[in-house]
Amino acid sequence: MHRLPDEVVLHIFTFLNYLDLVNVQLTSRRFLKVGRDNEIWKQICFERTRAGLHQQRMRLQDSQNHQTLQIVHAMEAIAAQETGNQASIEPSSERTTYQVTAQRRTNMMASWDPSYPNEDSNFYQEFIHRHAPVQLSWLQGVYRGKNDNMVQHEATGMGILYDDSECMADKLIAPMDDGSICIWDVSFVQDARSEPNQGRIIEKTSVGLLAGLDLRSDRNTRITQSKTAMTETGAVEVVSIDNKQKKGYFGVTNMLNEVDLHTMQVVSRSPYPFAITALSEARHPVPLTIGTNGTVHLHDPRQPIAFTNESENTRLELIGGTPPKKSSFLPLMYGGGPSGAYVSLSQPGALSILHIPEGQPWDGNGDIWVAGRFTSLLNYDRRLFPKIHGTVHSGARLSSLALLPFPYVPHDFRNLLRPPNLSGIREAKARSGNTILAAGEYKGKGSLELYGLSSEPKRGILVSDARTTSNPDTSYRNRYSASRSKLLSAVSHGCRIVFSDGDGWLKWVERDGSTPVRQFNINDAIRTHRAARDLDSLVNDHRSAQVQEPAMDAAEGDIVQKIIPMVASEATGNDVPLGQDNLLVWTGDGMLGMVGFGTQATFLADELDEQAQDALEHEQMKREREYDREMRRALERQAAELRWVRGYGLEV
Domain boundaries, given as residue ranges, for the chain: 37-112, 608-652
H or E, element range at 203: strand 200-204
Are the C-beta atoms of 300 and 334 separated by less than 8 Å?
A: yes
Examine the pLDDT at 85 and tell me if it is beyond 80.
Answer: no
Angstrom distances, CA of residue 534 to CA of 135, 143, 379: 19, 20, 52
Find all residues with CB under 8 Å of 404, minimum gap 6, and list them.
Answer: 434, 435, 436, 437, 450, 492, 511
Task: Output 290 or 606, whichever has higher pLDDT.
Answer: 290
What is the predicted pLDDT for the residue at 354? 93
Give SS3 for 349.
Answer: coil
Examine the pLDDT at 92 and tell me if it is beyond 80.
Answer: no
Q: Which of 434, 536, 439 is nearest to 486 (CA)?
A: 439
What pLDDT, in 10s, does the model give residues 142-179?
876 655 556 788 899 999 999 887 788 889 999 998 88
The residues facing 563 across adjacent strands are 585
Interval 46-68 mean pLDDT: 72
**Alpha helix (H) ranges present in 182-310?**
219-230
Give SS3 for 383.
Answer: coil
Could you write out the three-class secondary structure of 450-512?
EEEECCCCCCCCCCCCHHHCCCHHHEEEECCCCCCCCEEEEEEECCEEEEEECCCEEEEECCC
Range scoring the smallest mean pLDDT among 311-315, 345-349, 434-438, 565-569? 311-315
Interval 592-619 mean pLDDT: 68
Q: Is the dihedral of CA 525, 530, 531, 537 positive or negative?
A: positive
What is the predicted pLDDT for the residue at 130? 93
What is the predicted pLDDT for the residue at 501? 92
Per DSSP, 643 falls in state H
What is the predicted pLDDT for the residue at 546? 38
Cα 250 from Cα 235, distance rounded (Å): 11
Are the C-beta atoms of 200 and 189 separated by less than 8 Å?
A: no
Examine the pLDDT at 65 and tell me if it is beyond 70.
Answer: no
What is the predicted pLDDT for the residue at 600? 76
Cα 108 from Cα 56, distance rounded (Å): 11
Examine the pLDDT at 544 and tell me if it is beyond 50.
Answer: no
Are the C-beta atoms of 186 and 169 separated by less than 8 Å?
A: yes
Examine the pLDDT at 646 and tell me if it is beyond 80.
Answer: no
What is the predicted pLDDT for the residue at 645? 75
Phi, psi of 470 (to 5 degrees): -95, 10
What is the predicted pLDDT for the residue at 257? 92
Cα 208 from Cα 222, distance rounded (Å): 6
Cα 302 from Cα 308, distance rounded (Å): 18
What is the predicted pLDDT for the residue at 231? 86
Interval 4-30 mean pLDDT: 90
Examine the pLDDT at 652 and tell me if it is beyond 60.
Answer: no
What is the predicted pLDDT for the residue at 518? 92
What is the predicted pLDDT for the residue at 517? 92
Residue 307's pLDDT band (boundaries 50, 70, 90)? Answer: very low
The residues facing 185 across adjacent strands are 171, 200
Residue 469's pLDDT band (boundaries 50, 70, 90)? Answer: low
Task: Output 536 or 18, whichever has higher pLDDT.
Answer: 18
Examine the pLDDT at 277 and tell me if it is beyond 50.
Answer: yes
Residue 104's pLDDT band (boundaries 50, 70, 90)? Answer: confident
Examine the pLDDT at 238 and tell me if it is beyond 70.
Answer: yes
Residue 301's pLDDT band (boundaries 50, 70, 90)? Answer: low
What is the predicted pLDDT for the residue at 519? 93
What is the predicted pLDDT for the residue at 90? 47
Angstrom distances, CA of residue 155 to CA of 151, 349, 386: 13, 22, 33
Residue 537's pLDDT band (boundaries 50, 70, 90)? Answer: low
Q: Which of 212, 187, 213 is nearest to 200 (CA)?
A: 187
The residues facing 595 across adjacent strands are 136, 583
Examine the pLDDT at 75 and tell me if it is beyond 70.
Answer: no
Examine the pLDDT at 385 and tell me if it is beyond 70.
Answer: yes
What is this structure's pTM?
0.80
What pLDDT, in 10s, does the model give residues 407-439?
888 887 776 666 667 777 888 888 888 899 999
Examine the pLDDT at 367 and tell me if it is beyond 50.
Answer: yes
- Cα angle at 156 between 309 and 579, to 5 degrees? 135
Examine the pLDDT at 195 and tell me if it is beyond 70.
Answer: no
Examine the pLDDT at 239 and tell me if it is beyond 90.
Answer: yes
Examine the pLDDT at 489 and tell me if it is beyond 50.
Answer: yes
Look over the chain and give the mean of its residue pLDDT values, rounded to a whole number: 78
Are the C-beta atoms of 142 and 152 separated by less than 8 Å?
A: yes
What is the predicted pLDDT for the residue at 161? 92
Examine the pLDDT at 462 and tell me if it is beyond 80.
Answer: no
What is the predicted pLDDT for the residue at 555? 44
What is the predicted pLDDT for the residue at 215? 73
Cα 266 from Cα 344, distance rounded (Å): 28
